[in-house]
Amino acid sequence: MSGVTVHLPRDGQRHGGGHGHGVENGGHVEARGRGTAPVTLRLGPGDVARFGRGSADTPVEVRLRDPAVSRLAGEIRVTEDHWQLSNFSATQSYLVENPEGAGEYLRVPPRRAGAPIPFEFARVVLPTRGSTVSFQVFAPDHVYLDADRAQLASGRWGTQTLVAYSLDETATYFLILVALCEPRLRDESVIAVPTTPQIVERLRNCPGYRGLTARAVSSHIDYLAEEKLRLVAASPTDPGPGARRNGKREAIVELALRFGLVREEHLGLLPPRVAEGVRARACVG
């Protein structure tokens, strides 16, 4: 596991429930609290990030400015193949939700140390006197066993085989990846890659994605490029932000199609296309 990324956006908000679309506020691990300054942390195996209200005597890496949150509420610890959550509260349980898991969640009880978290996307939710505050953890590189039948039968294992591109086909980022690749899969254009507004419009009629925003799509594109596909970052001498983002989308599509990460059968994940000006109302697949 290469680690996780922690991002605390400037305009963090309270978490009021409902589903999320992964990296809605532009980070790969996102924390939400009141009045927070932007912070981005990249944690590798063995690294720790503490979270809570913090103080001069109790520094924390992820600060959640709510009076109901302990000064030192807990910590995230990254291991070789997963990450762990410790709850330092003596009275409050924390929830760890899978935003894309149809209500799937874990409860981490008070004083629980090192609870292993299996989700690729996870939202850690802390109770407050009002609603809740939360932050999201994204762990892009899960490790899978080599499924060689002979090895399984004999119980003999050599060097563990890692997955080059670990993609979850049920995740929002994969649906956006399919939408990016759709024109070339349909042989409509050898150069056109959908823009962010076009992707938002394309997925608008898919159940659960009516509220998908351009900001969320852009964040998922960044997540695909930087964490899932590990594309080389643009150099400082590259053109402006718009040109870099266009180049990033094109690089994502080229790699995904070259290695067969997205294929024609994946087009069934997208909602029906607009026909004669009438939008389709249901999602296929």
CATH number at residue 10: 2.60.200.20
19 with 122, same domain: the answer is yes
Please tell me the distance from the alpha carbon of residue 157 to that of residue 153, in angstroms, as a whole number.
Answer: 10
> CA dihedral defined by 149, 152, 154, 158, rounded to 10 degrees?
100
pLDDT, residue 41, reads 78
pLDDT, residue 139, reads 81
177 with 252, same domain: the answer is yes
Angstrom CA distances, 178 to 8, 47, 244, 261, stand at 28, 34, 20, 9
131 in a domain, yes or no? yes
Sequence-separated (6 or more) residues with CB below 8 Å from residue 205 = 271, 272, 279, 280, 281, 282, 283
Please tell me the distance from the alpha carbon of residue 96 to that of residue 74, in angstroms, as a whole number.
Answer: 13
pLDDT at 19 over 50: no
12 with 64, same domain: the answer is yes
159 in a domain, yes or no? no
179 in a domain, yes or no? yes
Phi, psi of 23 (to 5 degrees): -105, 55
93 in a domain, yes or no? yes
Number of domains in the chain: 2
Please tell me the distance from the alpha carbon of residue 270 to that of residue 285, in angstroms, as a whole number.
Answer: 8
Sequence-separated (6 or more) residues with CB below 8 Å from residue 247 = 234, 238
Pairing state between β 121-127 and 83-87? unpaired
Element (H, E) at 117: strand 115-117
34 with 127, same domain: the answer is yes
70 in a domain, yes or no? yes
- What residues make up the domain containing 213? 172-269
217 in a domain, yes or no? yes
62 with 8, same domain: the answer is yes
17 with 104, same domain: the answer is yes
pLDDT at 11 over 50: no
189 with 256, same domain: the answer is yes
Domain finish residue from 96, 123, 138? 138
161 in a domain, yes or no? no
Task: Give CA angle at 59 (54, 63), nearest 5°.
Answer: 45
> Quick one: average pLDDT of 257-261?
91
pLDDT, residue 254, reads 93
Tokens of 38: 């932007």
79 in a domain, yes or no? yes
Which of helix, strand or coil describes residue 39? strand
Grade residue 106 by pLDDT with cuts at 50, 70 and 90. Answer: very high
